Every structure is written in structure tokens, then in C-alpha cells.
Amino acid sequence: MVALAGIIIYLIHLTFRNVPRIDPANTLAARMHMQHHLGGLISIHSEKNLEHFNNKLHGRVVVIQQHHPIERRLFDLWGSRFDRQPIIMPWVVFFAHILILRGQCQSANDILYRMTKPQNIIVGLSGGVDSAVAAHLLIEQGYRVEGLFMKNWEDDDTSTSCTAETDHQDARQVADTLGIPLHHANFAANYREEVFAHCLQEFRAGRTPNPDILCNQRIKFHAFLQHATRLGADAVATGHYARVGRGPGGYTLERATDQHKDQTYFLYTLGQAQLARAVFPLADLLKTRVREIADAVGFANHAKPDSTGICFIGPRDFRTFLNRYIEFSPGPMVTLEGEVIGKHVGLPFYTIGQRRGLDLGGRSGHPAAPWYVVDKDLAHNRLIVTQGHDHPALLSQWLTAIDMQWVDGQGPTSRLRCSARLRHGQVDAPALLELDTAGRWRVHFDQPQRAVAPGQSVVIYHGQQCLGGGIIDTRDSLIKEPPRAIR
């Protein structure tokens, strides 16, 4: 009884001790904190020794989850109350079991994994400022970092149409500045077969694909990830503005701090296997700060403009480029009432809501207002246009989506209040997500949305989390009776 009373009194004493909080998100700081508090007890200078220490304590080490006061007392207990490992062991096991039973920490293997892995990270160095700073930050955090430059397009690799060589030189300067190796990989065949061919198929079908999303899914987090693994990487990192979190169901994809640069829209296809080995060092940084860091480190690309154009193909005249790969047929440009007012150069070159490139000036009998694409009539090769930025024909109350990809691998099991994004940079639209009677995912918007384009992606969010998304298949129109041009 006396011994039991002593244990209870000591536990109360631990609870009220003032122990500084350690940030669990800073892996390097947490490891240094362990070394400080376990100094003289056991070597913590390598992951191998740390794993050995974990095994000595019967697989129960609580060192990362620092939010609970009892766990913080545990650190103090290690460092100041005992100087013999055999005495520490029962206390560590006792506290760990209590916390696990109370659901306040995860299994020790999981915690240990997050602390000791990844150690070897290969960064996809694109030649841009974001990936450069990502590599620098990882080195600052104590990781072993290498770079890899991907070449994914070579059909017309000339100095006037492709910036690949310039990007490679910029990536080389970054690697030399950081003192890290730079690997080179050619994924041109993968890109052509798995990304570009699919996009051409969609264009021919009159839809508007998003190659950046498919490129992330098939190239950056598949081909690149596999190649990096063969090179010995535990994980890969990129300069994307996004965040990998953890939840009850596994890894989560979350918005970055810089809401203007947040790129979760382009990453919604990533699942558990990819997120488990993905690192996004820029999650907490604003773009302005990224450029400041790049300048301070000495990167020559610190003021380099953000990349534009088709993923890995670069900026170019889209119409001229696409002409080389698909057949096109000019045809009439008609109003909703069926009046021919112009001629289009080929339906693949237009998308819903488009204003530029229509070459429609003033038309007799029509107001002096801009014209917009509202639909494509593939059967008759007609491009349907109208005037008015918010014309009812451009507004949709709902859409259906196919090829849904869910970050947790499962998706919602019932109707879900959420927000949806139809394009990168768009403000989220409150919506209701549900399965319709035909088994299709349907997104009902609280307010009508403009220029819903089949072939583009609709991405689903719940708060800060990106849940997944899919390809827009069909949409409704606020015009309930189809005009003659689209009957």
C-alpha cells in the first residue's frame, strides 16, 4: 500500500511540473530533444540505435506526441529522475500503455516511423524556385537530400520551343549551390503514353482535359517515385504548395498556408501509398517568403517566373501545337437561336466559357458585348456562342463526375456537405455530394456555377482537407428548354 501511494503521489507531482513544450512537427528538434534528455543513458545518434532503444522498451516509445501533459512529464522523468536504464524501462512501458489505452497516442511503430523516416529524400528539381527552396529546407531539417531532374518531352526539343535545357541548367545550379547530387531521368515515353495520349483522346471527344493533374498522378508520383525508390530514396519531395497530414483513416491531403498558391486541386488523385512517401516542404510558406529564401541562399532562379503552359511541354501557341497531333475541321459558329455568325477553326481548340480567340467583333442586330462559348455540337461540328458573361446557358446548378479518386481510398459513405472547386485558384463553392440513382456522383451547388467544362476536374473539400475528386462528365443548364442550336 505504501508503494502504491508513493506511485500515485509521484504521478500527481509529474502532472504539475512545468516542462517546456516541444514542437512535434519538427522532427529534427524532437530527435535532438531525445538526445539531450537521454544523454548518458543510451546513444541516440542514429536511427539504428533509436530502433534498438525502442525494442529494449518492448515496442513502447512515446517521444513524438507532445501535446499531452503526461507525455511531456515523461521527457522530464527520463532526463532528471533516473540515471539507470533498467529503472526507466518500467516507467516508460507503464506510461505508454496508459496513453495507448486512452487513445491519446498511436502505436509505437507508427510514431517511430514518423520520427526516423524518411531520411533519404530525392527532390524533383524542376529548375524552378519552389523545388529549389524545398530541397534547401529539407537539408536544413537534417535529411539526406539528392535532386532529380525529369525530362518528359522531346518531340520538338528545340531552343525556341522548349525550355528543358534552361530548366536543367537552373536545376544544376541549385544542386551545386546546395552541394547535392543531381540525377537525370527521361520519362518522355511514360508521359507520351500515359498523359499526352489521353489528353489528345479527350480533345478529340470535344472535352477539356487537365494534363497537370494526370501528370502528377502518372509521372511525378508514379514514374518518379518508382525511379527514386530504385535510387534508394525513402520518400520524394516536390515544390507543391500542399500539406500531408494524419487522421484516423490514415494520411490526409490538406491545403497549404498560402491559399493563393495552394495546389491541392492538382494533387487530388494521390492516395495513401503516394502520400505516405510524399513530402511538401513549402506547406507553411508564402510564395514571397520562398523567393526571399531563394535569394538569401544564392539560387540564380530566385526571381524566375512561375511555369506556365502544358505540364512539362512548356509555354507555346496552343493552337499551333495541337494542330500537329489531331485532325480538325472548321465549322459554323452559331448563336443559341441557330444563327450563323462566324466560323470556328476546330472544336478541340475551344472550351466552355471561353471568350478570347473567337474573332467575333460587332455583329449587326446584336449588342456590342463580348461573346462566350456555351457548348459544342459535335454531331454537326458547330460551336455555340452567346453574349453575356453570366448568361443562363453558362450557369449550372449541378454536375456529374466520373473516375472519382479518393485520398482515403474509400470516399464518403453517405451524402456529404462539402465545398467543390472546378478549377485551380477558384473560390470553393458550397455543395452537396451524393450518389444518384444511376450510381454516379452528383455535385449540387448551393449557387449556380459558371462555365462547368466536361473533361475538367471537380475537386471535393471538407474544411482544410482535400477529399478527392473526379472528371466532370455532364452538367445542367439554367436554360430548361434547349434552344434550337443545341437540340
What angle, 0 to 180 degrees and rounded to 10, lies between the N-to-C axes of helices 27-37 and 69-80? 40
How far apart are alpha carbons 370 and 362 in whole angstroms? 9
Contact 186, 224 (CB under 8 A): no
Rounded Cα distance, 189 and 154, in Å: 9
Please provide the distance, in angstroms rounded to a whole number, between the alpha carbons at the two ends of the chain: 88
Q: How far is CA 396 from CA 334, 353, 445, in A?
A: 21, 12, 8
Cell of 149: 531532374
The yes-or-no answer on residue 215 being catalytic is yes
The beta strand positions in 18-163, using DSSP E, are: 120-124, 144-151
Using the Cα atoms of residue 352, residue 355, residue 357 and residue 359 in order, give the sign of their dihedral. positive
Residue 162 bears catalytic tag: no
Contacts of 163 (CB under 8 A, 6+ apart): 314, 315
State the Cα–Cα distance between residues 280 and 239, nearest whole angstrom.
Answer: 6
User: Which residue among the candidates 105, 199, 215, 418 is catalytic per the annotation?
Assistant: 215
158: enclosing H helix or E strand: none
Q: Which three cell numbers stand for residue 282?
A: 513549402
What's the Cα-to-Cα distance from 111 to each of 56, 72, 100, 279, 435, rounded to whole Å? 16, 15, 12, 17, 37
The cell 502505436 sits on which residue?
Answer: 107
Catalytic residue, chosen from 105, 162, 199, 311, is 311
**8-state DSSP, 364:** T
Would you name the residues annotated as active-site residues? Answer: 215, 311
